[in-house]
A and B are shown apart, each in its own frame.
Chain A
């Protein structure tokens, strides 16, 4: 089965961009993957843990945050969980500055999340919305799709600001 993967990787790798996330095939973490990783990144999507960079999708002023701690869960945060993060990159005139420690809610995660009807949802990237200690968003707008898992986690305000609920 390994040679089929290698031939497939070579055949397909040219057209595949690195940005496109790939899930699965975690079993074949052999030398093949290391040599062909430049052509095709077969990543096993995992939790949001320490040092994970997330995109900020509200207008609070931050652009990128790095997770310091996932508040719930031993292995890390998933879709809909809150995290503690440090702002790594921010817009010049925003409410938060670089180096601030903030709370954030994960609104998009590349790792598939099981829904109660048995299907799975996954997004294209990891994104978060900055939040204060009480759970209210700091910004006033949210960009991009958000999942309706947030309703169960009582982040109703974020849902109301969202432009599209997945």
Chain B
């Protein structure tokens, strides 16, 4: 039994699933489900299709190089069955998965860093520039102290809504 990788989305194909397509140049394409198979028939390039692992790795959304990937390399030499070895391997798989998930979370956090600060800055800028859309300038000048801090909460919501409506 062997767990293969889907050619299109790079997810694992478990036994009993999927379709194998053998091209005349003897290249074998394995697909995990008909979604990947149909995309392949449409001649789509997985590197351009957003939800595939190929795209994500190419565009730096997911980790590419990590020592945990070394454990999953394809081995062609069959190992003699050894109960201890199998037990240890299973334990190791669990641990390696945990480590990999943690590292991926860290990679994601690093990627998303600075998002909140950026959003705040953009909101403040919108506030300055487009406040005339919310309240008339005359009214603002009458009560300058009350407007900004009071409306700050409301405006950011309304601004965001307006932005969404504008878009």
**Residues of A with Cβ closer than 8 Å to B?**
12, 15-16, 20, 22, 24, 108, 112, 117-125, 144-145, 147, 163-164, 166
Contact = CB atoms under 8 A, between A and B. Distances in A.
A121, A125, A147: most-surrounded residue (chain B CB, <10 A): A121
Interface string B13-31: 1011111111110101000
Given A24-B34, A164-B26, A119 B20 contact: yes
A121 B15 CA distance: 13
B20 A120 contact: yes
Given A12-B42, A16-B43, A20-B41, A144 B19 contact: no
B24 A119 contact: no
A119 B16 contact: yes
Contacts of B1: 117
B39 to A, nearest CB: 10
Closest 3 A-B residue pairs measured CB to CB? Answer: A118-B16, A164-B26, A145-B26
Contacts of B16: 117-119
A133 to B, nearest CB: 29
Interface of B: 1, 13, 15-24, 26, 28, 34, 38, 41-43
Contacts of A164: 26
A121 B17 contact: no
Classify the secondary structure of A's interface with B.
Answer: loop
A118 B34 contact: no
A124 B16 CA distance: 22
Contacts of B24: 108, 123-125, 144-145
Contact of B15 (A12, A24, A117): A117
Contact of B19 (A15, A120, A125, A163): A120
Given A12-B42, A15-B43, A122 B15 contact: no
18 contacts: A12-B42, A15-B42, A16-B42, A16-B43, A20-B43, A112-B19, A117-B15, A119-B13, A119-B20, A120-B18, A120-B19, A120-B20, A121-B19, A121-B22, A122-B19, A124-B21, A124-B24, A145-B24
A118 B43 CA distance: 26
B34 to A, nearest CB: 7
B32 to A, nearest CB: 10
Given A119-B18, A124-B23, A166-B28, 16 more contacts: A16-B41, A16-B43, A22-B41, A112-B19, A117-B15, A119-B15, A119-B16, A120-B19, A120-B20, A122-B22, A124-B22, A124-B24, A125-B24, A145-B26, A164-B26, A166-B26
A122 B41 CA distance: 13
Nearest to A165: B26
A164 B25 CA distance: 9
